[in-house]
């Protein structure tokens, strides 16, 4: 098979959450254990850091990987979802897995995959861990897919567990209170493995303390740690300051476990995190030449629930002459998100090419009900193109609401 044929096989034969939503969710570790055993348990061949949380876990994972890479370690990074290229999910020292390695894994293990019938995410994780083991990485930073306790990544026993924060998201799977969601995410806490908590509140703090006590492990709350100053970071956005505190707290724990991470590696990793890891879509700023031959500022952010949008809303409100391309998927707190957005902006409501997307006319009606003004576009490409064509020299275009909207916009802009 070619690479494109291999991807098509995976999408056709295995349910992918980013395409079909709940139908792809397979809670529990049964499939994963079967896959790992058949592959020789590659996840046991390298140390890991495990990162969960409602928001910020992608940024935190990339920052930590960049720091470890800057410290001289051969660093693997497993994240999800991808924005443009499937291989973004699986990297070593920032380099995506080769296309041929994806093809070879599927061809060599096709019978196994058809016997176990894993989800798309489980197969991707098995591919990643097998490649990391074959490449003899020094350490892997592993981002949880969904939740924690029942997520397939929870087969690892890491050097440190990290939980960035808790918000109301994926409530159909994780529970509809902060305590219930915190309990699911605290499921990554392992016996005698230290845990770092990025943000806690009155409802979630007792859940984390109780889980740490049950597992006889040290717990560190990043908000309570004092740092002389927070290093500059290539990732912009006021909300990244909280993620940076979480990362610095995690680095301090890794140092106590014998990892040599000089101060210079921390500052270098943060200052070059996007360059070193290929991270995109987190308050990402692009400058393009518009059809009117003036330069135009475009910002993209993948925050896709009210908790995530609150993180960047203060930054957004600082911008004048704002045009917003926005689309969401149906399993999010849509009305709550729309209420947060600035009413003074011009909106281009759209939908990504996934069954989970809210149809643009429906999203426009919901937005109008909370005082937002705009038009509906059935395709992200047409919404972005119209925003660019209408933008004046001092306008800024913001693109967000969904990983899928940002991914499709990036594909268009990069081409």
pLDDT in tens, 131-171: 999 999 999 999 998 888 889 999 999 999 999 998 865 55
The residue among 248, 277, 306 that closes a domain is 277
C-beta of residue 162 within 8 angstroms of C-beta of residue 147 = no
**Which residues lie closer than 8 Å to 30 by C-beta, 6 or more apart?**
none
CA dihedral 187, 191, 196, 197 (to 10 degrees): 40
The residue among 261, 277, 293 that closes a domain is 277
CA distances from residue 367 to 260, 324, 346 in whole angstroms, order as listed: 50, 12, 12
CA dist., res. 255 & res. 176, Å (int): 37
Residues 11 and 132 in one domain: yes
Using pLDDT thresholds of 50, 70 and 90, give the confidence band for residue 414: confident
**Confidence at residue 169, expressed as pLDDT on a 0 to 100 scale:** 59
Instruction: Work out the mean pLDDT of the chain and round it to a whole number.
Output: 92
The residue among 277, 307, 337 that closes a domain is 277
What is the SS3 assignment for 258?
coil
Residues 80 and 229 in one domain: yes
Residues 218 and 314 in one domain: no
Residues 193 and 261 in one domain: yes
Residues 271 and 392 in one domain: no
CA dist., res. 342 & res. 240, Å (int): 21
Residues 97 and 163 in one domain: yes
**Confidence at residue 32, expressed as pLDDT on a 0 to 100 scale:** 92
Using pLDDT thresholds of 50, 70 and 90, give the confidence band for residue 207: very high
| Block residue for tokens 């705009």 | 374
Provide mean pLDDT across the span 38-64. Answer: 96
Using pLDDT thresholds of 50, 70 and 90, give the confidence band for residue 332: confident
Residues 261 and 346 in one domain: no
Residues 269 and 306 in one domain: no
Residues 261 and 370 in one domain: no
pLDDT over threshold 70, residue 173: no
**Which residues lie closer than 8 Å to 251 by C-beta, 6 or more apart?**
64, 67, 261, 266
Q: Which domain holds residue 301?
A: 284-414
Mean pLDDT check: name the lowest of 67-76, 221-230, 238-247, 358-367: 221-230
Residues 273 and 288 in one domain: no
Residue 185: give its domain's CATH number.
3.40.1190.10
**Confidence at residue 15, expressed as pLDDT on a 0 to 100 scale:** 63
Q: Nearest CA to 36 among 125, 121, 101?
A: 125
Instruction: List pLDDT tens digits, range 224-277.
Output: 998 877 899 999 888 899 999 999 999 999 999 999 999 999 999 999 999 999
pLDDT over threshold 90, residue 400: yes
pLDDT over threshold 90, residue 68: yes
**Confidence at residue 172, expressed as pLDDT on a 0 to 100 scale:** 62
Using pLDDT thresholds of 50, 70 and 90, give the confidence band for residue 103: very high
Residue 309: give its domain's CATH number.
3.90.190.20
The rounded Cα 391 to chain-centroid distance in angstroms is 30
Q: How many domains does the chain have?
A: 2
Residues 271 and 290 in one domain: no
Residues 322 and 247 in one domain: no
Q: Where are the alpha helices (DSSP H) in 109-221?
A: 110-116, 120-134, 171-174, 178-185, 205-214
């Amino acid at each position: 098979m070619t690479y494109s044929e291999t991807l098509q096989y995976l999408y056709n034969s295995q349910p992918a959450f980013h395409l079909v939503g709940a139908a792809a969710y397979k809670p529990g570790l049964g499939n994963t254990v079967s896959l790992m055993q058949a592959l020789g348990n590659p996840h046991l061949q390298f140390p890991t850091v495990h990162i969960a949380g409602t928001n910020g876990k992608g940024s935190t994972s990339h920052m930590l990987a960049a720091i470890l890479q800057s410290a001289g370690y051969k660093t693997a990074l497993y994240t999800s979802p991808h924005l443009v290229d499937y291989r973004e999910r699986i990297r070593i020292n920032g380099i995506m897995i080769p296309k041929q390695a994806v093809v070879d894994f599927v061809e060599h293990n096709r019978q196994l995959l058809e016997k176990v019938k894993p989800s798309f995410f489980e197969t991707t994780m098995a591919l990643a861990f097998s490649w990391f083991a074959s490449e003899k990485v020094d350490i892997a930073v592993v981002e949880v897919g969904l939740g924690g306790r029942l997520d397939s990544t929870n087969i690892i026993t890491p050097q440190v567990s990290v939980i960035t924060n808790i918000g109301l998201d994926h409530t159909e799977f994780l529970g509809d209170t902060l305590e219930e969601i915190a309990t699911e995410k605290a499921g990554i806490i392992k016996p005698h493995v230290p845990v770092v908590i990025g943000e806690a509140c009155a409802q979630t703090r007792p859940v984390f303390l109780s889980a740490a006590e049950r597992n006889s492990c040290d717990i560190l709350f990043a908000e309570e740690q004092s740092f002389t100053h927070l290093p500059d970071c290539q990732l912009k956005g006021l909300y990244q300051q909280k993620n940076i505190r979480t990362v610095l707290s995690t680095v301090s724990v890794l140092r106590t476990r014998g990892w040599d991470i000089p101060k210079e590696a921390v500052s270098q990793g943060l200052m070059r995190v996007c360059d070193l890891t290929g991270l995109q879509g987190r308050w990402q700023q692009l400058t393009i030449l518009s059809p009117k031959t003036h330069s135009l500022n475009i910002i993209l952010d993948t925050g896709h629930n009210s908790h995530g949008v609150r993180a960047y809303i203060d930054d957004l409100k600082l911008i004048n002459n704002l045009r917003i391309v926005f689309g969401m998927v149906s399993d999010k707190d849509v009305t709550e998100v729309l209420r947060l957005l600035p009413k003074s902006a011009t909106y281009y409501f759209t939908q990504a090419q996934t069954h989970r997307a809210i149809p643009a006319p429906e999203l426009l009606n919901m937005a109008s009900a909370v005082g937002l003004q705009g038009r509906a576009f059935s395709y992200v490409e047409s919404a972005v193109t119209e925003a660019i064509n209408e933008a004046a020299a001092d306008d800024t275009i913001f693109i967000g609401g969904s990983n899928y909207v940002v991914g499709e916009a990036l594909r268009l802009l990069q081409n």
